[in-house]
Structure 1
Amino acid sequence: MSFRILGIDPGLTRCGLGVVEAGRGRALRLVDVTVARTGAEEEPERRLMRIGDEIEAWISRLSPDAVAVERVFAQHNVRTVTGTAQVAGLAMVAAARAGLPLALHTPSEVKAAVTGNGRAQKAQVQEMVRRLLHLQQAPKPADAADALALAITHAWRAHAVGTAHRATGGQQTAAQRAWAAAETRARTARRPPRRTASR
């Protein structure tokens, strides 16, 4: 049984999109990765429309079971953080329209999950993503690696939550219920159709 997670590293100039398939335990496989780009000379609404269309196209084409988006924090450059927040909103809406569970992870959470260091440099994240996905080269640019790191973080967190829940028999949280629903949908979608006996 495997699950697909679409990781989205939001940005108005470069938006990283990466899909990872998580198998039993912590097994991971790269499905696809890209960076959606727009030019600074374009009108903001056109740039947002293009990125929004790309996100929805990826969801439609690759059928992820969940979406993980980087949680946006305020930065010194207000113009940059505004565009980033707008793209994050587009990703959240696209996930909601597709009926997919959505998770937001902070950059430090992602760095800690992938490298063991919440203050890791981008080069460290790229290299660990390469190793974890058994790639010959590190994903570039950094936005691509960040998107994959988000997907990996969510895959591992969901696995850990599910394992803990099964071990303790505790009540599920809303996030756990959403993930369980995604698992059920994935099993149903990948199950071969049942043959009916001919009369």
Structure 2
Amino acid sequence: MPGVHEVVHPLIGRHLTVLRNETTRPAEFRGSVRRLATLLAYEATKDLGSLPTKVKTPVAMAEGCELTDRIGLVPILRAGLGMVDPVLDLIPSAEVWHLGLYRDEETAQPVRYYDKLPPGKPVDTALVLDPMLATGGSAVAALQTLYEWGVGRAKVLSLIASQEGVDTVAAAFPQAQVYVCKVDPELNDQKFIVPGLGDAGDRSFNTIIH
């Protein structure tokens, strides 16, 4: 599907297996989230704008480059927070703007409760960080907000998605790019991805109610 990039790599397969395993402890879960976020961000940023520059090494002058895009990271609270630091490690100059969205358990529709996008000129490229793309509702709501803000280019980075979720995003915003580790076939009656990995936020922050 145009605009949807399912990134295939042995390291992605391994760390996704860790996330899927129901016995994985929160600390190990968070570690694999960080590593997968790094790998996704590497793929999603291959087309960032840059300009050539020169630097002086201890030995001689060398060719280099500087990024020209103003980049914003938009984690979807709360599960997206675990993806912020690894992406910032790759792009230290990135700005971080927060969108608070939660899924209404009765309707499965996104509800926005927090919006920290600044007034003024938007970033050139926005990376939406959302570990789970289930129905696609939260991603669509986030993209709608970003495009209304004036962002020229937006990409969604998700660890796992359902086919319904990526179809929903592609139908609503065909210009958006989605980078995902794995697209699973379906959702269950509770709108959880199947086979999925459970609730990424609860598993990351150790808030599963037993």
Common topology (TM > 0.5) = no
Give the TM-score category using the shorter length.
Answer: 0.3 to 0.5
TM-score normalised per structure 2: 0.34
Structure with the greater relative contact order (CA < 8 A, sep ≥ 6): 1 or 2?
1
